[in-house]
C-alpha cells in the first residue's frame, strides 16, 4: 500500500500519471497536483477508473505544499513541475516527513545556472529525518546515470572516458518547437558548453564544439557538446573518469531559429518593461510557441539516448561499450498521448519511485541515481517501455 503525489501536470507529469496508474500493485493511490486544477482533472479523466485524485497547489509556496501533503499524506512526491520548485518542495518534504524524487536540478529563476550544490546542501537534513531524496531521475539526467552505474558494476574495472549522447531524430512538422518546457530548454541550450577533462572543467562557447555521430537505427546526426547536470555527480562518483562530455543533436532549422531568438533578445530572462507591465521575454516566447504537449499526434521518428564508455574491463583489458535506448514518438503517443521526450523522462521517474516504494532504493539522505543499485531499475526499463541494448568493442567515434 503506497501513495504517490505527482506535482506538475505538463508533458512529463502526464506520462508519470499514466505509468503509475499502469502499476497498481505498487502505486495503490495516486494524487496529481499542479498549479492549474483543470489540467490535473483532464489527465485523471483520460486515465479513468478513479485511479488519479486531482488537486491544486502553487509549488512556489511551502505553506501551500505543506497543506497539500497534510491533506494526502503521500509516501513519496514525484516532482515534475519546473526546476524552480525543487527547493520549496524539498522543504515541505522535510516539514511533513515525505520522501522526494525529481528529474531536473534546482535553478534560480533569474540565472540560468546548473549545479547540484543547492540540493546537495540538504543531505544532512534528509539523512537526519530518515528520508530519501532521489535527484535527477528522468532519462538524462536519470537513465544516463543508471546506465553508467550498470557499466561500472558489470563491465568495467576502470571507466576512463564517458560520452552521453542524446539524439532526437523525430519530426513534429512545426517550423520551431521545443520538446519540453521551452523556457527551461532554451536556458539550457544557450548557456556555455562545459566538459570534464583531467580533473577540471573546460568551458566552451555555446554549441561551439560539434561533430556527426552515428545513432543506432538513425544514422549520422550533427551532435553538439553541451553542459549537462549529470556530469557533475558522475565525475565525483566515478573519479577514474578522465573525460566526461554530453552531446545533443540539433537540426539546422532549429539552430537558425534559436540564433534569431537570441539575436532579437527573446531569450532574455531578465524583466523588461512593456507598456507599463513587466515581462520576461523568454516567458512571453513560451506563451506563443507550440505547446510541447501538443506535438505528439503528428510526431514521427525516434529518440536515441545512451552512454559511450571507454576504459578497462574487469580483466583490465581495453573495452569500448555503448548502451542505449531508442524510443518511438508514435508508440509513446499511442500509449500516453505524449511524445517520446516526455515519455523517456516520465517512465524513469515512475521507476525511481517504484524502486523506493519496493524498498530497493531506500537510503536516507540526498542522492543521485548512480548511488543506488542499477540492476532492479534496469530490469524495469525493459518491462515498462524503455528497453536497452549493449554493444561491445565498437568504434565510439569520440576520441
Ligand atoms: P511542462 O511545462 O509541460 O509542465 C510543467 C508543469 O509544472 C505544468 O503543468 C505547470 O503547471 C507545473 N508548474 C509550474 N510551476 C508550478 C508551480 N509553481 N506550482 C505547481 N505547478 C507548477 O514541463 P515538462 O513536463 O516538459 O517538464 C517537467 C520537468 O521535467 C521539468 O523540470 C524539466 O526540466 C524536466 N525534464 C527532465 C528531463 C530529463 O531527462 N531528466 C527531460 C525533459 C524534462 P501549469 O501549467 O498548471 O501552470
Atom of ligand 1 nearest to the CA of 36: 47
**Same domain, yes or no: 131 and 150:** no
**Same domain, yes or no: 192 and 324:** yes
Query: Which one of 86, 107, 135 terminates a domain?
Result: 135
- The total of other beta-carbon atoms located within 10 Å of residue 225's CB is 21
Ligand 1 neighbour 380 (Cβ under 6 A): no
**Which residue range forms the structural domain that includes residue 174?**
143-336+387-392
Query: Alpha-carbon distance 90 to 92, whole Å?
Result: 5
Query: Alpha-carbon distance 160 to 141, whole Å?
Result: 20
b vs e for 70-80, b when ≥16 Cβ sit within 10 Å of the residue's Cβ? eebebbbbbbb
Atom of ligand 1 nearest to the CA of 293: 3
In a domain, 206, yes or no: yes
Q: Give me the residue label for grid cell 520522501.
A: 99
Ligand 1 neighbour 144 (Cβ under 6 A): no
Element holding 389 (H helix, E strand): strand 389-392
Query: Which one of 100, 135, 170 terminates a domain?
Result: 135
| Nearest one of 195, 163, 221, 150 to 396, comparing CA atoms | 163
Query: Alpha-carbon distance 354 to 363, whole Å?
Result: 14
**Same domain, yes or no: 154 and 211:** yes
Q: Is the pLDDT of residue 179 over 90?
A: no
**Same domain, yes or no: 60 and 164:** no
Measured in Å, residue 84 CA sits from the centre of ligand 1 at 10
**Same domain, yes or no: 215 and 72:** no
Angle between helical axes of 11-21 and 37-47 (0-180°, round to 10): 40
Q: Percentage of the chain surpassing pLDDT 70?
A: 100
For 120-148, what is the mean pLDDT? 98
Reported as a single tens digit per residue, the pLDDT across 55-100 is 999 999 999 999 999 999 999 999 999 999 999 999 999 999 999 9
pLDDT (0 to 100) of residue 113: 80
Q: What is the mean pLDDT of the chain?
A: 96
Measured in Å, residue 82 CA sits from the centre of ligand 1 at 4
Is 222 in contact with 210 (CB distance < 8 Å)?
yes
**Same domain, yes or no: 159 and 92:** no
DSSP string covering 36-73, please? Answer: -HHHHHHHHHHH-TT-EEEEE--TT-HHHHHHHHHHH-
* Ligand 1, pocket-test mutation among 6, 8, 37, most atoms within 8 A of CB: 8
pLDDT (0 to 100) of residue 183: 84
Element holding 258 (H helix, E strand): helix 252-263
CATH number at residue 93: 3.40.50.720
**Same domain, yes or no: 129 and 173:** no
pLDDT (0 to 100) of residue 72: 98
Query: Which one of 116, 135, 154 terminates a domain?
Result: 135
In a domain, 241, yes or no: yes
The backbone torsions φ and ψ at residue 210, rounded to the nearest 5 degrees and listed phi first, read: -155, 155
pLDDT (0 to 100) of residue 188: 85
Query: Alpha-carbon distance 2 to 331, whole Å?
Result: 29
Q: Is the pLDDT of residue 112 over 80?
A: no
Is 186 in contact with 178 (CB distance < 8 Å)?
yes
Query: Alpha-carbon distance 284 to 302, whole Å?
Result: 29
Reported as a single tens digit per residue, the pLDDT across 11-61 is 999 999 999 999 999 999 999 999 999 999 999 999 999 999 999 999 999
pLDDT (0 to 100) of residue 1: 81
**Same domain, yes or no: 177 and 131:** no
**Number of domains comprising the chain:** 2
Is 332 in contact with 339 (CB distance < 8 Å)?
yes
CA pseudo-torsion sign 43, 44, 46, 51: positive
In a domain, 341, yes or no: no
Exposure on the CB side of residue 295, measured as CA atoms within 13 A: 30
**Same domain, yes or no: 88 and 128:** yes
Ligand 1 neighbour 81 (Cβ under 6 A): yes
**Same domain, yes or no: 121 and 224:** no
Q: Atom 4 in ligand 1: which residue has the minimum CA distance?
A: 10
pLDDT (0 to 100) of residue 172: 94
Ligand 1 neighbour 11 (Cβ under 6 A): yes
- The total of other beta-carbon atoms located within 10 Å of residue 235's CB is 20
Reported as a single tens digit per residue, the pLDDT across 257-275 is 999 999 999 999 999 999 9
Give the bridge partners for 307, in sequence order. 164, 323
Confidence band (pLDDT; 50, 70, 90) for 373? very high
Ligand 1 neighbour 85 (Cβ under 6 A): yes
Amino acid at each position: 500500500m503506497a501513495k504517490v503525489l505527482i506535482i506538475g501536470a505538463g508533458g512529463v507529469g502526464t506520462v508519470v500519471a499514466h505509468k503509475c496508474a499502469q502499476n497498481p500493485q505498487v502505486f495503490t493511490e495516486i494524487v496529481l497536483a499542479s498549479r492549474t486544477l483543470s489540467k490535473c482533472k483532464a489527465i485523471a479523466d483520460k486515465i479513468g477508473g478513479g485511479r488519479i485524485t486531482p488537486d491544486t497547489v502553487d509549488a512556489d509556496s511551502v505553506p501551500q505544499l505543506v497543506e497539500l501533503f497534510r491533506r494526502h499524506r503521500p509516501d513519496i512526491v514525484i516532482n515534475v513541475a519546473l526546476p524552480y520548485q525543487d527547493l520549496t518542495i524539498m522543504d515541505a518534504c522535510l516539514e511533513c516527513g515525505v520522501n522526494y524524487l525529481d528529474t531536473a536540478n534546482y535553478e534560480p529563476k533569474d540565472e540560468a545556472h546548473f549545479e547540484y550544490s543547492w540540493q546537495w546542501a540538504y543531505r544532512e537534513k534528509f539523512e537526519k529525518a530518515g528520508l530519501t531524496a532521489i535527484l535527477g531521475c528522468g532519462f538524462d539526467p536519470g537513465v544516463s546515470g543508471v546506465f553508467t552505474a550498470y557499466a561500472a558494476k558489470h563491465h568495467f574495472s576502470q571507466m576512463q572516458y564517458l560520452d552521453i549522447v542524446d539524439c532526437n531524430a523525430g519530426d513534429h512538422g512545426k517550423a520551431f518547437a521545443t520538446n519540453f518546457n521551452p523556457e527551461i530548454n532554451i536556458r539550457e541550450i544557450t548557456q556555455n558548453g562545459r566538459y570534464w577533462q583531467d580533473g577540471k572543467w573546460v568551458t566552451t562557447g555555446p554549441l561551439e564544439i560539434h561533430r556527426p555521430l552515428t545513432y543506432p537505427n538513425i544514422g549520422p546526426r550533427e551532435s553538439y557538446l553541451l553542459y549537462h547536470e549529470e556530469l557533475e555527480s558522475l565525475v565525483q562518483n566515478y573519479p577514474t573518469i578522465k573525460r566526461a562530455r554530453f552531446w545533443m543533436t540539433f537540426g539546422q532549422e532549429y539552430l537558425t531559429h534559436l540564433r534569431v531568438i537570441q539575436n532579437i533578445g527573446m531569450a532574455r530572462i531578465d524583466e523588461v518593461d512593456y507598456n507599463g507591465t513587466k515581462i520576461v521575454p523568454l516567458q512571453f516566447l513560451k506563451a506563443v510557441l507550440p505547446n510541447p504537449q501538443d506535438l505528439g499526434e503528428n510526431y514521427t521518428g525516434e529518440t536515441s539516448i545512451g552512454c559511450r564508455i571507454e576504459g578497462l574491463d574487469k580483466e583490465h583489458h581495453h573495452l569500448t561499450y555503448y548502451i542505449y535506448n531508442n524510443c518511438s514518438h508514435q508508440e509513446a503517443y499511442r500509449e500516453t498521448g505524449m511524445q517520446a521526450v516526455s515519455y523517456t523522462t516520465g517512465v524513469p521517474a515512475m521507476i525511481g519511485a517504484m524502486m523506493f516504494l519496493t524498498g530497493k532504493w531506500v537510503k536516507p539522505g540526498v542522492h543521485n541515481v548512480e548511488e543506488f543499485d542499477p540492476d532492479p531499475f534496469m530490469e524495469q526499463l525493459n518491462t515498462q517501455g524503455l528497453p536497452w541494448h549493449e554493444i561491445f568493442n565498437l568504434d565510439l567515434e569520440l576520441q
